[in-house]
Structure 1
Amino acid sequence: MYNLRRLEVLRELKHRRTLAAVAAAMSYSPSAVSQQLTLLEKEVGAPLLERDGRRVRLTPQAEILVAHTDTVLQQLDRAQTEIAASLHELTGTLRVAAFQTAMLTLVPATLTWLRDAHPGVRVEVTQAEPDTGLPALLAREVDFVLDETFPGHTQPTRATELSHHVLLQEPMRLAVRDTAVNSLPELARHPWVMEPVATPARQWTVSLCHAAGFEPDVAFESADMLVHARLAAQGHAVAFLPDLVWFDRAPDVALLAPESTHRRTIRATVRTASADHPLVRTVLAGLRRAAEETEAAVRRNLGNAIR
Structure 2
Amino acid sequence: MFELRRLRLLHELALRGTLAAVAEALSYSPSTISQQLAQLEKEAGVALLAPEGRRVRLTEHGRVLAAHAARALDLDEQARGELESLHPGLAPVRVAVMQTAALAIVPTALRLLGERAPHLRVELVEMPPEAGLFELAARGVDLVIAEQYPGHTRELADGLQRETLGTDPIRLAVASRDPARSLDDLRERPWVMEPAGTAARLWAMQQCRAAGFEPDVRYELADLSAHARLVAAGQAVAVLPDLLWEGSAERLRLVDLPGRPAREIFTAQRTSSAPRAGIVEVRRALHDAFPPSARDDV
Same-fold status (TM-score > 0.5): yes
- The alpha-carbon distance between structure 1 residues 210 and 249, as it changes in their structure 2 partners (threshold 3 A), is same
CA distance in 2, matches of 1:43, 1:278: 35
Q: How many residues align?
A: 297
Separation in structure 2 between the aligned mates of residue 167 and residue 184 of structure 1, nearest angstrom:
29
2: CA distance between counterparts of 1:92 and 1:54? 38
Task: Find the counterpart in structure 2 of residue 176 from structure 1.
Answer: 174
Moved more, 279-288 or 50-59: 50-59
Shift of residue 113 of structure 1?
A: 0.9
Name 2:78's counterpart in structure 1: 78
* Match of residue 11 from structure 2: 11
What SS does structure 2 have at the residue aligned with 1:46?
Answer: coil
What displacement does 1:174 show? 0.4
Mapping of residues 81-100 of structure 1, within 5 Å: 81-87=81-87, 92-100=91-99
TM-score for the superposition, normalised by structure 1? 0.90
Per the normalisation by structure 2, the TM-score is: 0.93
Q: Which has the higher contact order (CA 8 A, sep 6+)?
A: 2
Q: Deviations over 1:29-77 (max 9, x none)?
A: 1111111121111221222122334432211111110111111111112
Contact 1:192-1:239 at 8 Å conserved across structures: yes
Could you list the per-position Cα deviations for residues 118-138 of structure 1 after superposition, in whole angstroms to 9, with x for gaps in the alignment? 111111111111122112111
CA-to-aligned-CA distance 1:226-277 (integer Å, 9 cap, x gap): 1111111111111011111111136512111233362211111110111242
Aligned to 2:234, the other structure's residue is in SS state coil
Partner of 1:167: 165
Give 3-state SS (helix, strand or coil) of 1:35's partner: helix
Distance 2:153 2:13 in 1: 24
Is the contact between residue 89 and residue 121 of structure 2 (CA under 8 Å) also seen in structure 1? no
In the alignment, what sits opposite 2:263? 264
Moved more, 271-280 or 187-196: 271-280
Q: CA deviation at 1:181?
A: 2.0
Query: Where does structure 2 lack aligned partners over 5 or more consecutive residues?
Result: none
CA apart distance, 1:166 = 0.7
Q: Could you say which residue in structure 2 is the equivalent of 1:36?
A: 36
Q: Which amino acid aligns with 2:230?
A: L
SS in 1 for 2:256: coil
CA distance, structure 2, for counterparts of residue 107 and residue 249 of structure 1: 15
Q: Distance in 2 between matches of 1:154 and 1:254?
A: 29
Give the counterpart letter for 1:275 in structure 2: A
Q: CA RMSD in A?
A: 1.9
Change (3 A) 1:118 1:62: same
Range 235-244 or range 177-186, more displaced: 177-186
Q: Which residue of 1 aligns with 2:254?
A: 255
In 2: Cα distance, 1:144 partner to 1:189 partner:
41
- Tell me the CA shift for residue 104 of structure 1: 1.0
Change in 2 beyond 3 A, CA 1:247/1:65: same
Is contact 1:194-1:221 (8 Å) kept?
yes
**Following superposition of structure 1 onto structure 2, how do residues 81-160 of structure 1 map, counting pairs within 5 Å?**
81-87=81-87, 92-156=91-155, 159-160=157-158
Whole-Å Cα distance in 1 between the matches of residues 28 and 117 of structure 2? Answer: 35
Give the match's secondary structure for 2:94.
strand
How many Å separate the matches in 2 of 1:50 and 1:188?
A: 53
Q: CA deviation at 1:217?
A: 0.7
Unaligned runs of 5+ in 1: none
1:269-306 deviation per Cα after TM superposition (whole angstroms, max 9, x unaligned): 11011124211111111111100xx22xx65xx43x28
Whole-Å separation in 2 of the counterparts to 1:115 and 1:165: 22
